[in-house]
Structure 1
Amino acid sequence: MKLGTALIFPLLAAGILVGCGNSDAPKQATKEATPAPAKEAAPSAGYLDKIKARDKLVVGVFSDKPPFGFVDEQGNYVGFDTDIAKRFAKDLLGDEKKVEFVVVEPASRIPFLQSDKVDLILANMTVTPERAEAVDFTNPNLRVAVQAIVPEGSPVQKLDDLADKTIIVTAGTTADLWLTQNRPNWKLVKFEKNSESLQALANGRGDAYAQDNLVLFSWAKQNPGYRVLADKLGNEAPIAPAVKRGNIELRDWVNTELAKLGEEQFLLKLYDQYVRKELADGTDPKSVIVEGGKWEG
């Protein structure tokens, strides 16, 4: 990923809430195992009418992964992904408040779609062939690479130096999947939440933490004494919203919406609001966002 110098985002430990973008009563999302590929397709016809009849768009989001999805000090859902969901609700239902946020963890994103707990996932999910067997991705809105972070004084200089070390991962993330498939003999310590993984790193419970590089650069800036290894775990990849497999109507609506928002540079506005101030000077926004759903690999 061509980000130049380090990208940085603040870490915010957040409560778990479900609501319409404000301080509604909290609700803990159920933990579920990583799913098998979907066996049944969602009905593609009439799904938008179903949402309109309900008068509410139900979206799975993160609560502890700024700047994408987090809860602010007033208990409001905010962030890059969260604000996209609000705009979707406004354009589909006429009011950005007609969205219900359901907090998900990385491993529960696909099960929540498959079990109809949410209409849509906007929780920073990287597109992979395995996930594409279980859900339908829309066109992308972000790009990312996976790297690892270590304490500044660590002797580790490259990825393979971690072969005899303990690596922290968040369960269900691309880093977890990649290491499990490509480095099956390496020792992994898994946590459910990104905030738990970062706390474990700070407490010395592992030698490194592997995660999306945007999160790692954030941690390095907010917590001096850490550095991100240059090696990448796999290639740069797109991040995209996801719907239940077979829900072609909602998928196509989101793609049309992303194209329309691209004409007004909506993601760039969110980038300016949530991201730009945290990045290194001179960082090209196109190295982070995918405006209009137009992926250029």
Structure 2
Amino acid sequence: MTITACGGANPAAETSNKPVDVGVAVPSAWTAQGQIRVGIACDYPPFGYTDLTGGNAGYDAEVARTLAAYAFGNDSKVSFTCVTPQNRIPYLSTNKIDLIISTLGYTQERAKTIDYSTAYFTSGAKLLVANGSNLDGWQSLHGKTIITKTGTTSSTFLTNCYADSQQLRLDSTSDAVAALKAGRGVAFAEDSTLLLGLALNDKSLKVVGQDEAQTPWGLGIRQGDTETKKWVDAALADMQMKDTFWTIFNKAVQNKEAAATFAGNMPRPGASIAYTDENTLADCSK
């Protein structure tokens, strides 16, 4: 399985055209600075990472470039700053960046300090299994040993909803993958985006199952910046209508089988993703 190196710093790859009219004025601060300043993950393929040319690549990077093309008619009118889960909100709040596009899951606590765009992806727990495994989803887990990482939402979800299964709890991703390959459990349950990256880099593994304990992602916007939120939400709505998120995802994840597993994880025509304050870790209805 392969990840495309989409979005290096090659000027020949830039797309220049007319801005897209989404019915809302481009934020005045962006117009004044002539670009969008985006905080992005640089170590989380296939969503945000640094490619072999040193450029920013992945799903989130291409969403950012698409917004630049909408705002300025040129997808190079974006500057990237590598951020971590710890510093991304402080960077936004102190005006070092204009948007967080960095696998930012919605939580009630975060929503007290920043504003969210409408959701542009959703992530939950899925299952990593060996390529030859017949296990095809969560309902196959009853009575079996499942590998998890200590203290994760996946472990909590299994405790709540699959109490008849046994968990082999380990402290690191590498230990969990090693245990899976050694046959110490039938699957490794973890965040679906992490598992996708693992499967893309190891042809002996694959991701199965529907997302459980889902957490929608949004673009982080400074709290009270209604001008930016209105434009971003309008642009994302247009991208959804044109099925742009799915197009971007298939550029970031070239393997068709792997990509198809995530076909329902992004807004698509007629299929939006909504935020929820419900406790998805205790939702055992599926």
Q: TM over 0.5: same fold?
A: yes
Tell me which residue corresponds to 2:78.
99
Q: Is 1:9–1:217's contact at 8 Å kept on the other side of the alignment? A: no
Any conservation in 2 of the 1:113–1:244 contact (CA below 8 Å)?
yes
Change (3 A) 1:136 1:85: same
Among 267, 272, 283, the alignment partner of 1:290 is: 267
Question: 1-side partners of 2:271 and 2:211: how far apart?
Answer: 23
Larger of the two Rg values belongs to structure: 2
Question: CA 1:264/1:229 → structure 2, altered by over 3 Å: closer, same or farther?
Answer: closer
Percent pairwise identity = 22
Write the deviation string for residues 207-227 of structure 1: whole angstroms up to 9, x where unpaired: 997642132144145336667
Cα shift at 1:21: 5.4
CA contact (8 A) 1:261 1:292 kept: no
TM norm structure 1: 0.62
In the alignment, is the contact (CA less than 8 A) between 1:135 and 1:244 conserved in 2?
A: yes
Q: What does residue 22 of structure 1 align with? A: 9
Task: State the Cα deviation string for residues 85-111 of structure 1 (Å, max 9, x = none).
Answer: 112122223422221100112232222
Residues 81 and 292 from structure 1, CA distance in 2 versus in 1: closer, same or farther, beyond 3 angstroms?
Answer: farther
Q: Please give the per-residue CA displacement for 1:185-237, whole angstroms capped at 9, x wherever unaligned.
A: x98858xxxxxx5x565678xx9976421321441453366676969763x23
Match of 1:247 among 198, 210, 225: 225
Q: What is the Cα deviation at residue 281 of structure 1?
A: 7.3
Structure 1 residues 27-82: Cα deviation after superposition (integer angstroms, max 9, x where no partner): xxxxxxxxxxxxxxxxxxx9921221122211011112222112211112121111
Distance 1:237 1:54, change over 3 A: same
Q: 1:47 to 1:264 in 2, by over 3 A?
A: closer
List gaps (5 residues or longer) in structure 2.
11-24, 132-139, 160-167, 180-184, 275-286
Q: Which runs of 5+ in 1 are unaligned?
A: 1-7, 13-19, 24-45, 170-175, 191-196
Moved more, 137-146 or 260-269: 260-269
CA contact (8 A) 1:140 1:294 kept: no
Q: Distance in 2 between matches of 1:127 and 1:82?
A: 19
> Are 2:53 and 1:66 aligned?
no
Distance 1:130 1:96, change over 3 A: same
Q: What TM-score results when the alignment is normalised by the length of structure 2?
A: 0.64
Cα distance in 1 for partners of 2:258, 2:29 equals 45
After superposition, the CA RMSD in angstroms is 4.4
Residue aligning to 2:243: 265
